[in-house]
Amino acid sequence: MTARPGTSAIHVPDQAQYTGAGLRIVRLANFVTPESGGLRTALRALGAGYRAAGHEPVLIVPGPCVRDESTDHGRVITLPGPVLPGTGGYRVLADRRRVRRVLEALAPDRLEVSDRTTLRWTGEWARRARVPAVMVSHESVDGVLRAWGVPRGPARSAADRANRRTAHAYSRVVCTTEWAAAEFTRLGARNVVRAPLGVDLTKRHPGLRSSQLRRRCAGGADVLLLLCSRLSPEKRPGRALEALAELRWRGVDAALVVAGDGPLRPRLAARARAERLPVVFLGHLADPAELAALQAAADVALAPGPAETFGLAALEALACGTPVVAGAASALAGLVGPGGDTALDDGASYADAVLRVLARPEAHRRAAARQRAEGYGWQPAVAAFLAAHDAAAEPVPPAVSPVIPPGRPDGAEAAGTVPVRPGPPAVGPSGRR
């Protein structure tokens, strides 16, 4: 496929016609940018896994203009979406009519949605179109609201209302951890399934550790801390600076490197200067190899987000052999296990946890971190997600049938031309094909 940025239509050459026997799995996601972290990584890895299993993944995301691209993780359609104020550049698919026209033209076999707020309406569209649909819970509504300062009682009530509507609107709700599933199971939802995310264990490993890089990043300090996170309120990046300040007050010669960007960066940088803390802000690292080397070079990685439902950056650090100190209130507490430690939501508690980790022999703590990550490869993650779609996890032989001539389904002129495939098979009373 070719990409024509800035145009109002999506152009697809005839040879892009899909003739495989797998399912067309259309995925919708907001809050994805070139600088995104865990969600972007997960979407790419799952898309590549779906393709390897013989399916046709199509990802629809918001951006500044229309694009239609063929990638190694499937087709990616970008539709214009406004920037959400206060998020540091995140966009949303706000034009429901346009999204609906594209969905109708694509005629998906399955729908997978990764935004429980602005895209929840697609569950009703899928129900009417008789398309089995899953919602992927990438965040805790309760946790995010509390991280933004909403009191516990109102946050829980609002989360319960939203989660009831989500569970009703979709065939299944996919949660990556038991922690993430808890806010649905407490409501009695029966369509919740577990599907963990993963890490590329061949590209994240302890062999990447470089003493030279560590010395350069630490600037002569004895302990190198690392924060890989979006710098936004719900991620609590300020806790990393508080932990660093506490450690140095206790006489520990520590330094902090921050990989990531977001709306809080100017404030955090000003705070580090004012308190004369040895902090280096690298911004977003676009090169995965560069980020992996940094994750391996650190002595301890910090993951203070209280609403994390999984934590891919933390898992990547573990795979590199770097112990992680995570928030005790998040799902990471169960993910990290003996590969690190947990802390309460304050700088002193994080400093305590860092010191407990550093008290262990280096070889032992790094081996434990790697061992913890080895239970989370992408292959079982892809298989679990495909199981949630009732889709085969092994390659499906191509169907023996003539190639369908290209054409324009209804709505394609307005939404952009898309490849045509045979109509979906009949759906039974259960809504499953």
What pLDDT is attached to residue 21? 66
- The H or E element that residue 48 is part of is helix 38-52
Which two three-digit tokens encode residue 428? 């039974």
Say if residues 90 and 135 touch (Cβ distance below 8 Å).
Answer: no
pTM value is 0.83
As a residue count, the chain comes to: 433
Phi, psi of 207 (to 5 degrees): -65, -10
Nearest-angstrom CA–CA distance, 100 and 23: 19
What pLDDT is attached to residue 393? 82
Nearest-angstrom CA–CA distance, 73 and 28: 14
Please identify which residue in the block is written with the tokens 């959400």. Answer: 84
In whole angstroms, what separates CA 181 from the centre of its chain? 16
Please identify which residue in the block is written with the tokens 């995010």. Answer: 144
Which two three-digit tokens encode residue 407? 């054409």
What pLDDT is attached to residue 42? 92
Nearest-angstrom CA–CA distance, 103 and 414: 12
Domains by residue range for the chain, with CATH = 14-198+378-402 (3.40.50.2000), 206-373 (3.40.50.2000)
- Mean pLDDT for back-to-back runs of 10 residues, the chain (433 residues): 45 41 92 75 95 96 94 96 79 94 97 89 95 89 73 85 90 91 91 94 96 95 96 92 98 97 95 97 93 98 88 96 95 92 96 98 98 95 96 66 40 39 39 41
Which two three-digit tokens encode residue 177? 């951890």
Nearest-angstrom CA–CA distance, 36 and 162: 25
Residue 379 CB neighbour total at 10 angstroms: 13
- Pairing state of beta strands 324-327 and 300-303? parallel
Nearest-angstrom CA–CA distance, 316 and 42: 12
